[in-house]
Amino acid sequence: MLFNSNVVKAIQVAGMLSVLACKPKERPKPPPPDPLAVQLVTPGAEPKRVLKYVVPKGTAIPFEIALDVTLTTGELGGAMPTFVFDLDLYVDDVLPDGRMVLRTTIADATARDRPEEKVEAKALASRVASIKGVTLNATLTPDGKLEGVKVDTAKLPEAAAQQAATLAQSFEHVAMPLPTVPVGVGAKWTTIRELTQNGMISSAINTVEITAIAGDKVSFKLDTQIHGPAQTVVQQNVPIEVTELSGTGGGSGTLDLVHFLMTGELDAKLHTDMTAQGQRSALDLEMKTTITSR
């Protein structure tokens, strides 16, 4: 905001005073909570230090995200092929406050066969490849929050736009929110992340535990509890009532604080009951996200 002149300030103050003169004084509303605020459980053992991302401008990071999805409802569905995305991340700039401006391009997008799949990879290859070349933009804070993740889906077909949106959500897991106080091995903290999967909204409570620190590399374990409210989603113009939404997840990996890369495996299982057109059935979703360097 650039409206910092004395005239504008005077108008704002006058307006505020006129409102206060006409109605009883009210308590100011607290700011909305930070959805990725870190709640420290224990700081861990000595030696302790503040963990933060410090990725130099011009750094290039090639990495891969592989998604294994199994979706069943009643006797329908099953394992899908593995979706593999090769990404090229580049640090365009480092701002005075330490935030890093990131640009990530999907260099390749493919599907590969996996055991017990219900659809062959070649049947989905062209659909997956449709998001090749898409760019994701975001800003990374030193304490590991990805802000303003954006992907331009305006020119993509609907199916490809949904894939790009899912990938953008997976991209958020590449960074990990970090405490702003010194921590050591054994440190534990929690964060809450809002999720959207197949139109369903839920919250994931993530508990991170540091298992090792070696220079700029931090090893961790992750435990996740997922909960969601009763809600209605629309699939192919059909409203679906969603209840009993819950799940679990976890994983382990390593953070590289200088090269902005989290490698490892993250698993999630989600269950819900769905009612559409008078028919009720259970839906189970399993998803494994594997992040590796290239």
Determine how many CB atoms are found less than 10 A away from the CB of residue 138.
22
Provide the residue ranges of all domains of the chain, joining segments of one domain with +: 10-293
In sequence order, the β-bridge partners of residue 268 are 249, 287
As a whole number, the mean pLDDT across the chain is: 82
Please report, rounded to a whole number, the percentage of residues in the chain having pLDDT higher than 90: 49
Q: How far apart are CA 288 and CA 290, in angstroms?
A: 6
Q: Could you tell me the fold of the domain covering 10-293?
A: Lipovitellin-phosvitin complex; beta-sheet shell regions (2.30.230)
Residue 19 pLDDT > 90: no
pLDDT in tens, 53-84: 999 999 999 999 899 999 888 778 899 999 99
Are 140 and 201 contacting, i.e. CB atoms less than 8 angstroms apart?
no
pLDDT in tens, 239-270: 989 999 999 999 999 999 998 888 999 998 98
Confidence of residue 234 (pLDDT cuts 50, 70, 90): confident
Where is 33: in which H helix or E strand? none
Q: How far apart are CA 130 and CA 153, in angstroms?
A: 11
pLDDT in tens, 20-63: 233 333 444 444 445 568 999 999 999 999 999 999 999 999 99
Q: How far apart are CA 142 and CA 175, in angstroms?
A: 10
Task: Pick 1 or 291 by higher pLDDT.
Answer: 291
Secondary structure class of 11 (helix, strand, coil) = helix
pLDDT in tens, 97-134: 999 999 989 899 999 999 888 889 999 888 888 888 88
SS3 letters across 101-135: EEEEEEEEEEEECCCCECCCHHHHHHHHHCCCCCE
pLDDT in tens, 124-183: 888 888 888 888 899 999 999 888 888 876 666 666 676 667 666 666 667 889 999 999
Determine how many CB atoms are found less than 10 A away from the CB of residue 130.
17
Tokens of 288: 């494994």
Ranking 5-19, 31-45, 198-212, 275-289 by mean pLDDT, the lowest is: 5-19
**pLDDT value, residue 261:** 84
Query: How many C-alpha atoms does 259 have within 13 Å on its Cβ side?
Result: 18
